[in-house]
């Protein structure tokens, strides 16, 4: 508790100091402009400073959207290919690359927790852990179904195909958030981890799968050769999933109470990526669009993330109540 209070105090002190610095810089710049009296160089300097202050103020405003209880946490990100075989599996792999590129561009670290390769190309599913400042806060609105429309590279007749893949984002729980799970409530299975082409990562049953009986939540980890380490990671993932499930329940209640017109959650299509017959990425919740799908698929997600965060600021109360 003491560590949590100290962290909150430091965050508040930082926010207040940043606001005070901006206010001081603004007042000094206004005074400079008043003293310019036709000096074009001083006026230009004042305008440049005001633009910088505006950008910093917008950055501070964005930080207020990342003040939820779990926003500061690292995050797990699950990707699952939808129906459609190779098409959807290739699309799932494209999404994995997109989020990895975004994380790398923001100085975050990605680790592959588990992966199920596709038969011909792509992946059936994958889980990655993204470590970095406010990783969960930035990505928490990405959960949902992502739709791709393109001329299939796997179709000899060059026909247009529509593919779907689902994304699920949930925070890596730290010691400040308590989630109790009893071993009697879960089923633990071990199996041999395998990679692409059926080659065994090792010859022992080191991979671990945990099923939470009440909710049906399944998590698995196979990236370590040690079963002990994989088991520990799987338990952390399960606690994180249960915490996120509670957040989703609280969020649904908050949205219903506020009569929200936008539904954001698992199983709902949130974004379309159209490569043919035209090029457009459109978020179906925020209506944010980009005419450059290639740039988006290379990790340029910030316009979409920022807009979704701005729409979801009312959900922070649900997060605080859940924790």
- CATH label of the domain that carries residue 117: 3.30.70.1660
Q: What pLDDT does 77 receive?
A: 96
Same domain, 164 and 119: yes
For residues 323 and 17, the model is more confident at 17
User: Would you place residue 202 in the very low, low, confident or very high pLDDT band (cuts 50, 70, 90)?
Assistant: low
Same domain, 162 and 307: yes
For residues 70 and 280, the model is more confident at 280
User: Would you place residue 5 in the very low, low, confident or very high pLDDT band (cuts 50, 70, 90)?
Assistant: low
- Where does a domain end: 240, 267, 286? 240
Mean pLDDT, range 151-179, rounded to an integer: 83
Does residue 155 sit within a domain? yes
Is residue 242 within 8 A of residue 181, CB to CB? The reply is: yes
Residue 311 has pLDDT above 50, yes or no: yes
User: Would you place residue 246 in the very low, low, confident or very high pLDDT band (cuts 50, 70, 90)?
Assistant: confident
Residue 157 has pLDDT above 60, yes or no: yes
Mean pLDDT, range 15-37, rounded to an integer: 78
Does residue 191 sit within a domain? yes
Mean pLDDT, range 221-247, rounded to an integer: 86
Which residues constitute the domain of residue 26? 2-64
Same domain, 169 and 94: yes
Q: How many domains does the chain have?
A: 3
Q: How many whole angstroms separate alpha carbon 285 and alpha carbon 303? A: 13
Same domain, 199 and 147: no
Q: How many whole angstroms separate alpha carbon 202 and alpha carbon 126? A: 19
Long-range contact set of residues 173-177: C-beta below 8 Å, sequence gap at least 24:
173/70, 173/73, 173/236, 173/239, 173/240, 173/243, 174/73, 176/3, 176/4, 176/7, 177/69, 177/70, 177/243, 177/323
Does residue 299 sit within a domain? yes
3-state secondary structure of 185: helix
Structure confidence by residue, pLDDT tens digits, 123-145: 999 999 999 989 999 999 999 99
Q: How many whole angstroms separate alpha carbon 94 and alpha carbon 173? A: 27
For residue 277, say if its preceding peptide bond is cis, omega within 30 degrees of 0: yes
Of 104-108, 145-149, 245-249, 285-289, the range with the lowest mean pLDDT is 245-249
What's the whole-number average pLDDT of the chain? 81
Helices (H), the chain: 2-36, 40-64, 86-105, 135-139, 227-258, 293-297, 302-311, 316-322
Mean pLDDT, range 227-237, rounded to an integer: 89
Q: Cβ contacts of residue 219 below 8 Å, gap of 6+?
A: 127, 209, 210, 234, 237, 238, 241
Same domain, 291 and 205: no
Q: Cβ contacts of residue 25 below 8 Å, gap of 6+?
A: 49, 53
Q: What pLDDT does 30 receive?
A: 81
Q: How many whole angstroms separate alpha carbon 262 and alpha carbon 260? A: 6
Does residue 252 sit within a domain? no
Same domain, 306 and 187: no
């Amino acid at each position: 508790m003491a560590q949590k209070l100290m962290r909150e105090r430091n965050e508040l002190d930082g926010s207040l100091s940043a606001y005070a610095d901006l206010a001081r810089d603004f007042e000094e710049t206004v005074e400079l402009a008043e003293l310019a009296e036709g000096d074009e160089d001083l006026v230009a300097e004042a305008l440049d400073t005001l633009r910088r202050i505006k950008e910093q103020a917008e950055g501070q405003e964005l930080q207020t959207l990342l003040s939820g209880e779990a926003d500061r946490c690292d995050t797990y990100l699950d990707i699952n290919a939808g129906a459609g075989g190779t098409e959807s599996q290739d699309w799932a792999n494209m999404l994995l690359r997109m989020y990895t590129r975004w994380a790398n561009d923001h100085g975050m670290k990605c680790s592959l927790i588990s992966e199920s390769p596709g038969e011909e190309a792509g992946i059936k599913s994958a889980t990655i852990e993204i470590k970095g400042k406010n990783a969960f806060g930035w990505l928490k609105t990405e959960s949902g179904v992502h739709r791709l429309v393109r001329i299939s590279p796997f179709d000899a007749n060059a026909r247009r195909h529509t593919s779907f893949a689902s994304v699920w984002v949930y925070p890596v729980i730290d010691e400040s958030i308590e989630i109790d799970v009893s071993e009697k409530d879960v089923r633990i299975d071990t199996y041999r981890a395998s990679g692409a082409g059926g080659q065994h990562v090792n010859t022992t049953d080191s991979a671990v799968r945990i099923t939470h009986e009440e909710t049906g939540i399944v998590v698995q980890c196979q990236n370590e050769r040690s079963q002990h380490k994989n088991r520990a990671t799987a338990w952390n993932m399960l606690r994180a999933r249960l915490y996120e499930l509670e957040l989703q329940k609280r969020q649904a209640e908050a949205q219903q109470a506020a009569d929200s017109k936008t539904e954001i959650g698992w199983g709902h299509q949130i974004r379309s990526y159209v490569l043919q017959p035209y090029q457009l990425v459109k978020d179906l919740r925020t209506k944010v669009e980009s005419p450059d799908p290639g740039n988006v698929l290379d990790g340029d997600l910030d316009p979409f993330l920022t807009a979704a965060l701005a729409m979801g600021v009312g959900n922070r109360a649900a997060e605080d109540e859940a924790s």
